[in-house]
Structure 1
């Protein structure tokens, strides 16, 4: 089974979503400013298609208890000019393969090593159609991508678990560390995407609802505090309160750290790794914080990251039932902080390296 392919079954296509998320950093061709962007190819309830797009947040849909049904291009950026831009398509304009990553939404295409497309939303559309949950603006992209590190969370996203609909939300990270190359045109400004400074990422989620709380943290731009040099490293964390056959479990996180060709995993589902994790978030007037301590039989990491709230989006999703439960889902691309890596020697954890990270992806929401 190709976990990066289309994962909805005949049953979940009538109550389910599937999406491919990409995030990366580009350079303004005029100013040299580094700016993070995101691109998401998304579909919801394709098995309910009856000839017209249904927005769950539309008054008529709520009144008649209609579930959303559409394909979506969701793109944007964070910072002072943060936006999320949505263009919607008929299910007849959507195609995705189960065997490989091969997705088409209208004329926008997505493959394992290439993606291109365009989104435009006018100010009039933004104001006239609030059910589309979009800002106004435009973005066009033409990119290639090389995926350097993969994070497969294990049996939790397996074919069998997917077939029986065990979890409400599944996660697979085909590109925990990616190098993107190409060009982005954002609001008519040109940005160049260079592989060595793209600090890229690609994952996917699918299922019949979203986790609560919703947790994610990723960084691919690290410098060693000990040497002052850039480090070949990647950090990724995701989780929440998983639901198994509708029953909520206590909060769980899945964490991976790649460091100089070594892949280190902290995964509760792989019990033989003897992983233990502590995780909390908090906020003050200016920042949102992510704090993690993860430990297994050989390694320990301590992570302290933060992101300015003024740079974060409240990113918008409705679930397959048409409910928008996450109304304060913080999402950003400017996370920064520190990561300490320890290795166990003679039953003690000895510091291997201390890293500074910037331009990381981050997310937290709870309702």
Structure 2
């Protein structure tokens, strides 16, 4: 497996139908924040008209199969953006912070018990050595979680206190579910079959753990132990709020994971691929047009919009939100950290908030030489970093 799941999903798109590839608290003083009405949001109608005609990301090209139930969750991750620099986790747009007792943070997950932090000796997921976990609770306290894995993909559901992953066995794999609030393992369920990746990747949504990496994507009810074919045609399951993204030569679609019903269709037209990323709770889809999907990962983006999957309501966002791979706040706002500025945008009206960050070890936006001690490694909440 690679360290860039998003790139793997795109590489598979030509031949498969796969989803693209998500210490104590210290108050930080002197935070400066201002809201601005972005050009893309202020002129939403005009921007969408242009997008429909050119980049196929406007409502004219969003074929919806009808509204879906709202899947809003209530994670205990607080409000505002969550990100980390080195081994320090920043909450509430950088207003508070907590430090984990390790070298560097690898990724951040939202749960109903707080922010779950995956950390280790270096920031890599593939070949990065042991992966350890800590829980940053809503009060800012940090609790160690007695889980340690290696070369393993993990998953959470922001509405629940659980961490899920798979372990290889002689007969296939075994799904493991751990309560990070009580630090107790709550389930182990055997899954039959042969897997291309060992252990296979998983996705957690409600009581179901989706297990990929083989010819069949299994749906495992971890409470009852029932294991069935999910019907999803993907090596890399990414299910959120009962929804998942499928991608093929024709474009991308957000579908109901249980029924396969298409909720949102985003076609590829005139050679313009539109990358679709779901928020951690599945309520929103971020659409980023990319004229050359194989070369623009991490480079300047084209048109950017966010869609309420349940209603189809769409707003335009500034291009900076589509540069690289953005994170998501617990409330479902896409955000980026560029230099010493955090930008988060409302999925409802497109209004963006800029926050000036006074953090010494933020990485150089010009791409300077990173610190060898990983003190400048940046990780965004709600984004997938593991394979």
TM-score calculated relative to the size of structure 1: 0.29
TM-score calculated relative to the size of structure 2: 0.28
